[in-house]
Amino acid sequence: PRAEDGKFAAREEQSSEEQAEEASSETPEVPVTPETWGYAADGQRYDVGTVLDGVLSISADQVPHIQQLLSEGRHHQGNWQRERQESQRQVEAARAEVTAAEATRQSLMDEFERVANLGEDELADYMAGLRSKWPQIKSAAEAKGADSRNSAVIAENEQYKREKQERELEPQVLNSLETEMVKIRESDQRLQVLTQQDMQLVFGRLSGNVRGLMVTDQSLPWQGEGTPWLDIPQVTREMEYVASLRGRQTKQESTTEAAKKSNAAELTETKAPPAVKATTTATSASSPAKRFKPSKGATAETVTEEMDDFFDAMEV
């Protein structure tokens, strides 16, 4: 608020009751804890990110894992669709055979009922006509049965040819897989951390389902028609996933090794002893030998006393 002179007026002092009421009206901000997001598979729980305010956050080291899951899911979905289409085709063929057999049965029952109600003269004419037409009727029935058998045989032959073609293509696919893996690793610096053991692991995982590696030139699941192509994106995703595992393992090993060295340094560290200055005593080799020299004018008695004093001093 402003005073009459236009300047801001000082805020009126609040009583303790007003301050308490104002403090109680303020809503404190409660920190929101992100919710862990993951999935369950094979009886285990895998956490790959967190959810906060409806936003899913995934750490960078989990991205290859998610990509691998999506790749395998798409791969299995393609296989499932192929198997489903094959099963559906077989079911439809069986349903058509059952429908045709039911129609034939009903037609025969109607014909037998009509013949059973014929009179003697009509029955004689019917039998005469049947006798004359029997070769054609028999031939048509045999042809129809042959067609049904041929349809089943054709379907089996198609499946056999497709499986045979896959077996023949398998060595070429595996050879191409090994070659392309080396090229992919050399062209991507992130994948150069892969060891030979890692490459063998990737090759083993991918070679377990050769059919899933074959796609058309439109990157669609190969159905046995045309020339198949190697699914390079799937190979790359598999290598990226294993490379991420190798990177995490290397980082963990480096941390562990650094901790071991630090602990070893602390255990082997010893304090240096205090410096001690060495003192030396002059030896007879470094100091000239003292000689007794009597004082001038000394008598024999005085000389004897001086000699005793001289030798006493040398002993000290």
Along the chain (316 residues), what's the average pLDDT of each consecutive run of 10 residues? Answer: 58 58 62 80 77 82 77 66 73 81 84 84 85 84 72 73 82 90 91 90 87 84 83 90 84 78 70 51 52 67 71 63
Rounded-to-integer distance, Cα 254 and Cα 246, Å: 12
Place of tokens 């005593």: 281
Of 119, 203, 211, 220, nearest in space to 165 by CA: 211
Of 140, 152, 153, 145, nearest in space to 94 by CA: 152
Look up the pTM and report it: 0.41
pLDDT score, position 179: 92
Q: How deeply is 117 buried, as exposed, middle or buried, from its count of CB atoms within 10 A (0-12, 13-18, 19+)?
A: exposed
pLDDT score, position 280: 47
DSSP of 247-310: HHHHHHHHHHHHHHHHHHHHHH--PPPPP--------TTTSPPP---PPTT--HHHHHHHHHHH
Place of tokens 């055979």: 97
Q: What pLDDT, in 10s, does the model give residues 84-97?
A: 777 777 788 788 87
Rounded-to-integer distance, Cα 156 and Cα 166, Å: 15
pLDDT score, position 80: 65
Count of Cβ atoms closer than 10 Å to residue 240 Cβ: 22
Residue 42 sits at φ, ψ, to 5 deg, of 55, 35
